Amino acid sequence: MKNDSSVAALADALRTDVRRLNPGERLPSSRALVERHRVSPVTVSRALGLLAAEGLVVTRPGSGAFAAERPPAGGEPADLGWQAVALGDRSVDPAGVAGLLTPAPDGVVALSGGYLHPSLQPARALAAAAARAARRPDAWELPPLGGIPELRAWFARTVGGAVSPADVLITSGGQQSMTTVLRAMLPPGAPVLVESPTYLGVLAVARASGLHPVPVPVDADGVRPGLLAEAFAMSGARAFYCQPSFHNPTGTVLSAERRAKVLDVARAAGAFVIEDDYARHLGIAAPPPPLIAQDAGGRVVHIASLTKATAPSLRIAAVIARGPVAERIRATQLVEEFFPARPLQETLLELVSSPGWARHLRAVRAALRARRDAVRTALARELPELRVNHPAGGLHLWVRLPDGVDDTALAEAALRAGVLVSAGRPFFPAEPPAPHLRISYGTAASEQELAEGVRRLTAVLRS
């Protein structure tokens, strides 16, 4: 993040310089910029790349960077109001997802986010895997439709049960998988059952696809099967989206008894279960087998992602399904995006096939255990009146606030005080029953930074 800040600061300085130059006039050399601004050559290169993308400069290899031609000044801005009529009243609201993907400002402790802190990501192993993958003769060729066979086989072995490589479809990350699955299975206007609370991203995808999320409450053991059966009967829904292991945001694991009941309820309703297994490799304790491993009737559509356990830009996941629904999902992916990039597929295969993969997972699990316990200890010491869960995996704590606290206002005040947390309200498909915060323990730089974040949050709550 500091490097990104240096690039932005240099780009700001160069914009001022460029505006003083005439079109075609040369900027100082890269060496001169390095010495003048005391930054690295990489920072200079990236800053010039930003200005080139903005159309402010033109770079010529071997010659340097030059001020670009400027568009003529003045004139009325184009009238684009007609587009509102053409587009109609459907809207796509990215606010929730954008908030989760926006890095914390400098000086703010990040206790919110969906990815491991860079210090916990396997950067060196990924770089080595990518280098090996790029050296393959067919690295940039068209991949087999459905994904490279060795990667499909790896996902099948990892999931277990009766899953075969033929059931596996390689996809472009978990979020894209949810989009493809929902669009393939449900027509616009259809209801889809979701846990309440649930992952912000699935609510955004469902609403953008014209679907109607119907909440089904969860408790400490996961979704409540009796209420799930009622929701199927009342809504007529034909699909239920859930996260049975390390549920986001609550961290709960669906109990063994309820796992069987959820499948029974779906069977009685003639419906599918969409199982989002995003955090299986972030288990502090080993999670139970996925629902699809217990499913003999092709009722479960399983989404397996490795992005959370690796790095944000390793956008490779798998959808596992059987029967006509699998054909529908494969066809939808093919017409919408063709296939995931082969170099990323090959890189992931190299990573999970290397001896360092198991070491990385052990290190991440140990770090997450220490971080979870550090945050819970700090909260118990500073804010004993809060009810804090004890997740067995994942990245988040789910904190019950005192009645009457406005969790959205609290999260905004916390950000002003230098700590980023997530209000609980947006995770509910409908009105929340109580105020909550989601506090992420895998996103900060260290246990010391986590403690400082709790201290800042405490000051806000006490005020």
Write the pLDDT tens digit of every residue in 191-238: 999 999 999 999 999 999 999 999 999 999 999 999 999 999 999 999
Strand-pair partners of 320 = 168, 302
Give the full edge-to-edge strand order of the sheet including 168-171: 168-171, 317-320, 300-305, 272-277, 239-242, 191-196, 212-219, 222-223
81 located within any domain: no
Q: 368-412, pLDDT tens digit by residue?
A: 999 999 999 999 999 999 999 999 999 999 999 999 999 999 999
Query: Cα torsion at 329, 330, 335, 337 (round to 10°)?
Result: 100
How high does pLDDT run on average in the chain? 91
User: Which residues constitute the domain of residue 443?
Assistant: 95-121+358-462
Instruction: Let me know: does 169 contact 147? Beta carbons within 8 Å.
Output: yes
Listed residue (425, 426, 396, 422) closest to 204, CA to CA: 426
Instruction: Let me know: does 414 contact 187? Beta carbons within 8 Å.
Output: no
pLDDT of residue 463: 82
Q: 104-137, pLDDT tens digit by residue?
A: 888 889 999 889 999 999 999 999 999 999 998 8
Q: Which of 297, 317, 352 is the last residue of a domain?
A: 352
3-state DSSP assignment of residue 159: helix
Segment 350-358 shows an average pLDDT of: 93
pLDDT of residue 374: 94
Cα 246 to Cα 257: distance, rounded to the nearest angstrom: 17
Cα 245 to Cα 123: distance, rounded to the nearest angstrom: 26
73 band by pLDDT with thresholds 50, 70 and 90: low
Instruction: Let me know: does 316 contact 172? Beta carbons within 8 Å.
Output: yes
Is residue 1 pLDDT above 50, yes or no? no
Amino acid of residue 204: A
Which residues make Cβ contacts (< 8 Å) with residue 151, sequence separation at least 6? Answer: 170, 316, 318, 345, 348, 349
Binning the chain into helix, strand and coil, the percentages to the nearest 5 are: 45, 15, 40
Read off the pTM. Answer: 0.84
Is residue 52 pLDDT above 80, yes or no? yes
Same domain for 35 and 143, yes or no, is no
Give the pair of three-digit tokens for residue 450.
């986590």
Q: What's 252's domain CATH number?
A: 3.40.640.10
Same domain for 375 and 346, yes or no, is no
Same domain for 178 and 310, yes or no, is yes
Lowest mean pLDDT among 3-17, 38-52, 69-83, 116-130: 69-83
Cα 51 to Cα 157: distance, rounded to the nearest angstrom: 47
Q: What's 12's domain CATH number?
A: 1.10.10.10
Q: Which of 319, 352, 385 is the last residue of a domain?
A: 352
85 located within any domain: no
Instruction: Let me know: does 137 contact 146? Beta carbons within 8 Å.
Output: no
272 located within any domain: yes
Cα 260 to Cα 257: distance, rounded to the nearest angstrom: 6
Is residue 315 pLDDT above 80, yes or no? yes
Instruction: Let me know: does 405 contact 435? Beta carbons within 8 Å.
Output: yes
Same domain for 266 and 156, yes or no, is yes
Instruction: Let me know: does 116 contact 354? Beta carbons within 8 Å.
Output: no
